Amino acid sequence: MSTRKVSKVITRLTDYKFSPAWVSRITQVCRETLLTWQERKLKKYYPFVFLDAQYIKVRRKTVAPEAVLIAVGIDMDGRKEVLGFSFPGAKESSYLYRELLSKLHSRGLRDPLCFIGDGLTGLEEVVRTLYPKSDFQRCLVHQMRQTLLKIRRGEREWLASDLHSLLETEDKDSFEKKLNELDLLWNRRYPRLWNGWRDNLETLTAYLKYPKEVQRHIYSTNILEHFNKEVKRRVKVIEHFPNETSAENIVYLVSQEWNENQWHHCIKGWYQLIPALIMMRKERFGLEELNVFQKVDQMLKEVNVCS
């Protein structure tokens, strides 16, 4: 939509007249703010980082869906934040995630305990290259969906119930034991159904290393999916974007609003997890963040609005 058309729409809706030049200036200010936001330093510590992609239709001679790669982190206050996104103008790939993670690393993302992503080929290797001591959790929800597609439709409800029982396990050994039980149950009809689970057992159970209170938040990319749904809702009224810049502007504005809303919410019971997370970071990375340790007792004594 041209600035002239935008000006006319605003006039009709508000009875206030704004010139095309004014609309153009506002758009430019938004763009400048976006570029500053994309280069901002990440000064907080994020123990958990979620990676996923959202597809948006963009016109480049022809209209086609293009991937927006998104990274969302949980900070030490238990608050979720969009750390950044990239619009490479192509499909989702591990190479493009390398660029996004390299950018986040240069901006100050250090020592996450765990990255959570889907089963995209090469994604785990990219994470381990840049963050060799961090865990990688393969999204269990994605894995379950892929497993359900491998059997007949009439049996999916039964299998879905069996898959859900895996989430009730408390450690890797019990997870593997339950997996063996399901294999015995389904092996006769679908002998290769569980191959993908066995091949990726380490990354499918990485979340079980962490305190039980946080496990349900990190076994999947659902936290990031909530943000993706908000992006979809905003772009639904737009058939496609005329260019990459306009698509980036929308994702940025949604990111800003989402971050502001998340600032007033934190994960329930998070402050009780802080000492355990600090010790895990210290043991794994050999770091002792004294400024964080000094704040722990004070935070635990405060009224916990997240409990």
Per-residue pLDDT, 26: 62
Q: Is 60 exceeded by the pLDDT of residue 5?
A: no
Kindly indicate the confidence band of residue 292, based on its pLDDT and cuts at 50, 70 and 90.
Answer: very low
Decide if pLDDT at 294 tops 90.
Answer: no
pLDDT at 247 over 70: yes
pLDDT over 70 percentage in the chain:
83
Q: Which residues contact 200 (CB under 8 A, 6 or more apart)?
A: 119, 138, 143
- Quick one: average pLDDT of 180-201? 94
Output the pLDDT for position 200: 95
Amino acid 91: pLDDT: 84
Is the pLDDT assigned to residue 97 strictly greater than 50?
yes
Res. 244: pLDDT tops 60: yes
Average pLDDT over residues 130-145: 96
Check residue 170 and give its pLDDT. Answer: 92
pLDDT > 80? residue 284? yes
Question: Confidence band (pLDDT; 50, 70, 90) for 27?
Answer: low
Report yes or no: 103 and 39 within 8 Å, Cβ to Cβ. Answer: no
247: Cβ contacts below 8 Å, ≥ 6 apart: 56, 58, 66, 68, 87, 235, 241
**What is this structure's pTM?**
0.85
What are the two backbone dihedrals, phi and then psi, of residue 56, each rounded to the nearest 5 degrees? -130, 140
Flag whether pLDDT at 25 surpasses 90. no
Average pLDDT on 48-72 reads 91
Q: Are residues 66 and 206 part of one domain? A: no
3-state secondary structure 170-224: CCHHHHHHHHHHHHHHHCCCCCCCCHHHHHCHHHHCHHHHCCHHHHHHHCCCHHH
If asked whether residues 87 and 208 sit together in one domain, one would say no
**Within a domain: residue 106?**
yes
Q: Are 110 and 227 members of one domain?
A: yes
In this prediction, residue 293 carries a pLDDT of 43
Q: What's the CATH number where 119 sits?
A: 3.30.420.10
| Out of 19-33, 38-52, 149-163, 180-194, least confident range | 19-33
Confidence of residue 9 (pLDDT cuts 50, 70, 90): very low
Q: Do 49 and 132 reside in the same domain of the chain?
A: yes
For residue 134, is it within any domain? yes
pLDDT at 158: 94
Are residues 132 and 196 located together in one domain of the fold?
Answer: no
Predicted pLDDT at 19? 64
Contact in structure between 251 and 85 (CB atoms under 8 Å): yes
pLDDT(6) > 50: no
Residue 278, domain member (yes or no): no
| pLDDT tens per residue, range 69-92 | 999 999 999 999 999 999 887 788
Does residue 90 sit in the same domain as residue 239?
yes
State the residue range of the domain holding 22.
3-37
What pLDDT does residue 296 have?
45
Taking Cα atoms as reference points, which of 175, 151, 150, 149 lies closest to residue 164? 175
**Is 28 a member of any domain?**
yes
Lowest mean pLDDT among 25-39, 148-162, 230-244: 25-39
Same domain? For 118 and 53 the reply is yes
What's residue 297's pLDDT?
A: 46
Overall domain count for the chain? 3
